[in-house]
Chain A
Amino acid sequence: MKRINWTAYAQSLAAPLLAIGVGLLVGAIAIWAVGGSVGTTYAEMWKGAFGSFYFTASTLTRATPIILTALGVSLAFRAGFFNLGAEGQMVFGALAAALAALYVPGPGPVKMLAAVAAGMLAGGLWSLLAGWLDTRFRMNLLITTLLLNYIAVYTAGYLVAFPLKEKGGTGGAQTAMLDNSAWLPKLFADTTLHAGFIVAIAAAVLLALFLTFTTKGYEIRMLGSNPLFAAYGGVKRGQLMLVSMLLSGALAGLAGTFEVLGTQYRYIDNMLTSPGYAWSGIMATLLAGSNPIGSVLAAILLAALQTGGMGVERNTEVPLEISSVIQSSLILFVSARITFSFIKWRKARAANGNAA
């Protein structure tokens, strides 16, 4: 019974790999269309992402917030809740973390822990609010999470532009710099990669174990798979929804926290929204079919496309947007797969009636 079903694994890998292949193909056509050399461009993209130790480390740095949001989103998706609010949860998490690290007294590690706790709590509560609106008022989660993003992003933007703006600073809308005792340690000297990456990997493993081996994880999976079956078996939807939304938001909050503690050392307006970390995280989740370990790989792939795209822009005439073309076609083909399996499922349901 312990035998691993390799064919099943191969099958679950086949679709994302195919999507990646098609994405690269579409990208190749786009490169060709703007008059670039496909070979050189992809070579530069690879070099930009993994060409040296420094670039590899940058790619993983960029992947860190994407992994954490992807994990949070995966958890909510597995429970059947479309949490599209990762961006807002991340922003409030980052802002809360920055404030905690700035204003909590004590030595560096205390500030750091306070920042992590505050970041996760802020992200979690913002997400919980959407969950509560659903259980209490039946407000559609997809819509509330999406719209709460705007409230969070603009509120944070206002706060750092006015009341919380760095005193006497010449910079734009940003908080003061954190004391460097509260900074996350770098994993390697002279690279950008910080300890948050290790935490993100550990979180992925923990989440995978949680979903497979715990009763709560089981209930979450069943709730997402067939809510009526879960209700029939005595799973409490409302309670589980609040728990999974809280955890989901806390992971997004942690992603924002690590950007503050590990890369920028302060909260800067747009530091999370302009790289689009949250949306990349959602893409990674979709690409990996909400599998935690798969989400890590997908997040690194997306980060590599983005850092690789910068390399392309540095060294060729092809613009950075080529990465977006590849990413978008990836998502297009992944969603085509979802639609296709939905059609298959519908057909199978219709056929069940007369098959004996």
Chain B
Amino acid sequence: MNQIDRREFIKLGLAAGSFLALGSSDLPIKVFGKRETPQKVLILGLDGIDPHLLQGWMREGKLPYFQRLWSQGDFLPLRTSIPPQSPVAWSNFTTGTNPGGHAIFDFIHRDPERYFPLFSASETTEAKKTVRIGNLVLPLSGGEVNNMRKGKAFWQILEEHDIPATVFKIPANYPPVSTKQRTISGMGTPDILGSYGIFNYYTTEAKELKEDIGGGRIHPVSVIANKVEAKLLGPVNTFKKDRSESAIDFKVLIDPVNPVAKISIQDHEFILKEGEWSSWKKINFRIIPTQSVNGICMFYLKQVRPNFKLYVSPVNIDPGRAALPISTPKGYSEELEERFGPFFTKGLPADTKALDNDVLDDGEFLEQDDLVLRERLDMFDYELAKFSSGLLFYYVSSTDQRQHMFWRLIDKEHPSYDPGLASKYGNTIENIYREMDMLLAKAMDKVDKDTVLIVMSDHGFSPFRRSFNLNTWLKESGYHTLINPWKQGREDLFMNTNWSRTKAYSFGLNSLYINQKGREAEGIVKPGPEKEALVREIAHKLENFRDPKTGGRPVLRAFVAKDVYQGPYVEEAPDIIVGYNHGYRTSWAAPLGRIPKEIVEDNTEKWSGDHCMAPEVIPGILLTNRKIKLKSPALYDLTPTILKIFGIETPKEMVGKPIF
């Protein structure tokens, strides 16, 4: 059977949102950027490292290498983006602009003609021309996947000046922009389903049989004669007229005495003990008789009896035979796969959804994220050893993910604080900072007098104790009208909204839109003075709203887009960017247009730390081995700084200034 490679995927435009490709990297490689540079730049991008926590643990002597770097050079808070979401923040850094220049405003954008949410970072289109043969629909012209970020990435500019760069998993670079530099995509890279990550969980436990949980699928199974038969679901098969899901059958044989099981899937047969993770298993989904799609997944045998519980990770793109464009050149992911074996390719690999839904417990989640971290540290050693000229950017995600999930165990005021768990896992966040200190030690060991070392984060962290239902606030304030008030809170995607009497709505994590005439399908607010007055009025009221329970202000700043953004894409921005206060964030329901009854609610989830606040609440960090001259540096200042080190002038579209 043939495996579909990327070139064929372009041609076929297979599986919505899943299988498309980057053309240029398939061309014969003419190597640019091989000049030996007298100066070098090494950047560690540690997602979410918080300046307050960092400074506290430095003072306590727990982070000696961070401390040493500070004493050799400098340490300042780093101004983050508006809003401080990772795709926005890293795009500021990548392009040296703000969202007005790169057009990434939120994790989630919206289609004003359908009032429907969209992925902000990439867009896929299916094949436009197809032919139907029986129950197969065969594409005749290719679909596309496009990186939606605008503006030039700094490594593209370096390439123009023949300066080599390796950019490892920088967020918001999927598919990787066209370049001959070594780049591999990170946050924003989908799993094989084209999603942010959907795990599978097979269980005999009746209480766990909820139909649909965000980010995962629960499959009821039966143990018959010590055997379980199940299916692992794959991508939607757009070759089929009914767009059915592809699937792989697998079997589990349970040892009748010991807590052990043998799993058989395709040509793999392996034994797991209860509580054991498998290695990566390569699988392929058969799409049509002559074609299949590759993926990799891990199995975790959570329990054998009394209830059978088996977790299977989201199916990641196989880096050795990538069906989707994940690296430039294409051979870079294959090089890593050859050296390290299969590795995590999904954007944010730690399965926070499995922890949030009690499919994995705290310890099991950490075991999984340790696999991510160990892999990341091993690959750092490899890249660091190869680094001899130009620039190396290296990214770590575990710092961000562990703060999201374990903040509740360092914050006694958090609704999810649990003293028992705190005594066991309360040092999780401190430990990941210590791990980063060891990573920094390796970097500092490599750095010579001609190398500028920058350690940075895109934002810091804050507790997320109370959640703000922005659409409910709009409704209660008279800006949003429901069709049937008694149905409030029961439906997503504004299914119950009366648009002819609605002036504003919110999609995404910080974005508020006016229902503007001529832009939205059923817009009622005229652009110009009427809209301008409404925007100012809503922003003012939002900033003055008080939480009825605590008396605090959930919204610290409501930014009017045209006041804070510059560049050619300001018109595409949300009208207001909501900056939440310390302890507050948008609710779980609001980003996809659900309108619960309460305006502010306790956040009782394990996802307990966050950064989708006002930027002044959660700055990032900037440490360097040089003195910083610029006061109050921002993410977009680092981009011209890199260029200046290599003697390149700041392009006029950049808003930042060099820090040295």
B partners with A: no
Which residues of chain A have a CB within 8 Å of any CB of chain B? none
